[in-house]
Amino acid sequence: MTRYFKDPNTNLTSNNTRKQGRKLLAVEKVYQDSKEILLLVDHLAQLKKKTCLLTRRDCSDDDDELASSNVAEIARVTSQLNQLKRDHLLKSVANENTKDYSPEFQLTVFKELLNTLFDRQSNIIFTEKEVKKVFDNFKNSTDDDLYEQALRFVLLNYLVSSNDIKFSTSLEKPKDITANFECLVLDIVLPSIRKNLNRYNSTSSTSSATRLATEIRALISIYLFTWYDSKCENDIESDISVLFELLKNTNNDVILQTSLAAITLLTFFSENWFDAIESSALNLFETFQTQSLKHKLVTGQALAFLYSIYDYSEQHAELVTSKENSVPYMFNIPTIDNGQLDYELSQTEVSLRLSTETDYTDDHLLEKIKSSINASLVRADTREPCPSDYDCYEHHVLDNIKSLDLSLRNDGISYSWLQALVYPTLIWLFESRLNTELQHSTLVSNAYYSLSAYSVFWSRTNQRQKLFRYTHLHDPKFVKSAHIDQAQRQQHDSSSGDEYGHKSNQPRHRRKSPKAIRKSNKHAKNLLVVA
């Protein structure tokens, strides 16, 4: 049976080798037709050899001067070589004659280009025009792997250019990056992905499951790393609708997992947060009822997350126990019958135990899903009383879900179901470099931490209290970055509005997007100081 809750600490190979077994060329073959590069490589090797010999023996003053001269020459030649390699690599993917090269050659080139981005090689900068040309050349490619690598190239250029990098050595200063790929990502790539996803739902689409999964992963990445921009939020409801259509019409494991991850993330980012939860939870539950056993284990994670972040404060105030449902829960998401929910989970548990295709990890996963939902809804027959104060209830639920120990990674962060669903997309985007990016990239680490259980519950509380959604960004666990500054400036610069409570004429649970957030009232400002 397919396992969706895998240990991510395993060694990863490249996407091409992992997915389709396509063999890449040796890197040397990419540069073999450039005499200038080959001469510089040879010259650089000789310089390094001479410098090494000088440093091994007792050196005179003349030798020291010669060694210093060699070091300076090595730096100059290395910089020149890197620039030549950059231009040579782009020649096969960013020019008009890209069809003259074999797919294997171009995949090897993309691997080198991505390594250049990951390594933040000095003096290697790609312009927006060059990156756009790469995307234009491969957006209609019939080779799914080439299209995938082109998308990753665009997204990683955005991440590198948008982030204040922490370099591994204090001797290397961050380079000035003038290119801003945000417009390219939001105005060109994102509409293209949306157009393709809509086409997949039509009967005329002949695209492969691999390409569809790539589109969805790219959509997740764009939302995840541009969460502060209203251009994404404008069409979020329609994106969720398209993804549900894809979810209902597929039996492919990868498309199912990526669609669920996207739906859950977009629901979390929705403008009308709790209303979106009610709608998405209903659609997910209806899908859950008709799914195969292995697919229910993935959909159950998304359901568990939505139940964990829903606002039960009005129900808590009245302490309403369901009168019609056969299972006495304290709370419920209004669009889903608790009795039917409990029945479906129980039937899934029985089917899982009788199945010959499952193992103990699947039983354990379902038990965590049930425990998470039970912790959120609070069974009336539980021995643990429901706290009289709703804020205490939220912390109580958080502690219960923390105790489930989702154990995605061993870095001390309490993980949420959303992180479990989105994690495979991060692996797709960064491959084996994910750990390095989390350590050195403030944008990546902040986006990743924003999905943790602690951060998610901060967002939930702020949402319920009509506060700026990301006040928890003041938490020291968030690394200082330009994106955090931008979100906070939008909070303080926006115009103030009237207070409103639950009986307001405005839509229930309506929150302002970061582009139009109002100034907090006095109580909100006090909370910000405390946070």
Tens digit of pLDDT for each residue in 411-467? 556 688 999 999 999 999 999 999 888 888 888 888 888 888 888 888 888 788 777
**What does the pLDDT read at residue 3?**
28
Choose the final residue of a domain: 351, 381, 404: 404
CA nearest to 194, candidates 137, 242, 125: 242
Same domain, 446 and 518: yes
Are 363 and 487 contained in the same domain? no
Residue 3 falls inside a structural domain: no
- The pLDDT of residue 474 is 53
Q: Which of 404, 420, 455 corresponds to the end of one domain?
A: 404
201: its two tokens: 């739902």
Instruction: Name the stretches of the chain with pLDDT < 50.
Output: 1-21, 164-178, 322, 480-492, 494-531
Whether 450 and 385 map to the same domain: the answer is no
Nearest Cα to Cα of residue 87 among 116, 64, 107: 116
Whether residue 364 sits in one domain with residue 318: yes
pLDDT score recorded for residue 12: 37
Residue 472's identity, in one-letter code, is H
Same domain as 465, residue 348: no
Residue 504 burial (CB count, 10 A): 12
The domain boundary residue, chosen from 385, 404, 423? 404
Alpha helices in 355-404 (DSSP H): 360-377, 390-402
Question: What is the per-residue pLDDT for 494?
Answer: 46
In a shared domain, residues 446 and 396 = no
Beta-bridge partners for 379? 329
Radius of gyration of the chain (CA): 26
3-state secondary structure of 329: strand
Domain hosting residue 484, numbered range: 436-531
The CA-to-CA distance between both ends of the chain, in Å, stands at 44
CA angle 272, 163, 179 (to 5 degrees): 100
Q: Are residues 453 and 400 in the same domain?
A: no
Domain assignment of residue 243, yes or no: no
Same domain, 325 and 444: no
Are 380 and 324 in the same domain? yes
Look at residue 226 in the predicted model and tell me its pLDDT.
81
**Count of domains forming the chain:** 2
- Asked whether residue 422 is domain-assigned, the answer is no
444 within domain boundaries: yes
276 lies in the same domain as 328: yes
pLDDT value at position 422?
94
